Amino acid sequence: MTAVSEVRPSPIAGTWYEGQADRLARAVDGYISAASLPELPGKIIAVIAPHAGHRYSGPVAGYAFAAVKNYIPDVIAVLSPMHNLYPYPFITSAHAAYVTPLGQIQIDRLLVNALDQKLKERLGYGLTPVVNDPEHSLEIELPFLQRAIKKDFSLLPVMLRQQTRLSARQMGEALAEVLDGKNALMVASTDLSHFHHQSRANTLDAAMLAQVAAFSPDGVFEIDENGEGEACGIGALTAVMWASKALGANKIKVLKHATSGDVTGDFQRVVGYGSAVIWKSD
C-alpha cells in the first residue's frame, strides 16, 4: 500500500499561477488592490470566485477576496467542482495539508469528518478522500486566501463531482450545521458560461448572475436547466448559497463580471467569470 504524503503536491503552481512565492504574492496583491468595492455593512459569510488561471480570472477573483481582506476566520471551507473523472459524488483530500508557493494550509480533519458524517445521515454517502488529485478549481483560490487573510487558518476542502439540486442543497445544509458557531468563511469556486461568442456569453452570464443576486439557489438551477445560463461549479455555488442562508446571511451582491476575451482579445470562444459576496447585514 502506498503511503500518503503529508502534503498534497501542487499540480498547477507555475502554470495556472506564478510558481515563485514573491511573484505570486505580487500578482495576487495586485488583483486584490485593484478591486473597488461598495460598502458591505455586516459580517461576510461567503464569497464566490472564478477558478481559471490567474492571468484570466484573477482580475475578477480579486474583487471577491478584497471583500475579506484582513478577515480573521479560523477555518475556511472551499467548495469547488471536480472536473476529473472520479466515481465519487463528493471528494476531499486524503492529505494533511495543501501547499502553494506561499506555504502550507492544514486541513481541518475534525470538520471534514463531521461533514462526512452529516452527509451520510442525510444522503447515505459522504466525502471520499483521494490522494494527489489534479483538480485546479479548489487550489486556484488558495493563494488569494493566503494573501487576503492575515492569520493562519485551516481548510475544509470539498470537491463536488455530483452537482444535482438535491445533493447541493443537502451539502449546503450539512455544511451549515458543521460550521454553525465557528469562526468560519466559505468560498464557492465556479466559472460561468463556456466557449460561446462574447455577446452570447454576456447574455448567459447576466441571467445566471441575476439569480445569484436574487439569492436564489433554486433559480440558479432553473436558469441552468432551461439553457439560459451556465455555471460549471453549480453544485459548489448553490451549496454555499444554501449554507449561507442557513447561517443567517441575508444579503448578496455581484461584484464583478468579465470574460477571458476581455483579457485575451479573442471574443469567439470565451469563458465567463463572476465574483460575489454574501453577508449578514448589521
Structure confidence by residue, pLDDT tens digits, 255-268: 999 999 999 999 99
Ramachandran angles phi, psi of 273, nearest 5°: -130, 140
Q: Which three cell numbers stand for residue 201?
A: 456569453
Are 45 and 240 in contact by the 8 Å Cβ rule? The answer is no
Return mean pLDDT, the chain.
97
Residue 183, CA distances (Å) to 41, 71, 73, 156, 267 in order: 18, 10, 5, 13, 42
Half-sphere exposure (CA, 13 Å, Cβ side) for 36?
0
Q: Which residues of the chain fall below pLDDT 70?
A: 1-2
Q: What is the pLDDT of residue 282?
A: 78
Q: Is the dihedral of CA 59, 63, 65, 66 positive or negative?
A: positive
Closest Cα partner for 255 from 49, 5, 3? 49
End-to-end Cα, the chain, rounded Å:
53
Are 197 and 268 in contact by the 8 Å Cβ rule? The answer is yes
**What residues does 8 pair with on adjacent strands?**
98
Residue 18, CA distances (Å) to 12, 24, 56, 192 in order: 9, 5, 13, 23
Domains of the chain: 13-281 (3.40.830.10)
Strand blocks (E) in 34-113: 42-49, 75-81, 90-93, 97-100, 103-106
Half-sphere exposure (CA, 13 Å, Cβ side) for 219?
11
Q: What is the Cα gyration radius of the chain?
A: 17
Q: What is the pLDDT of residue 2?
A: 58
Q: Which three cell numbers stand for residue 77?
A: 471551507
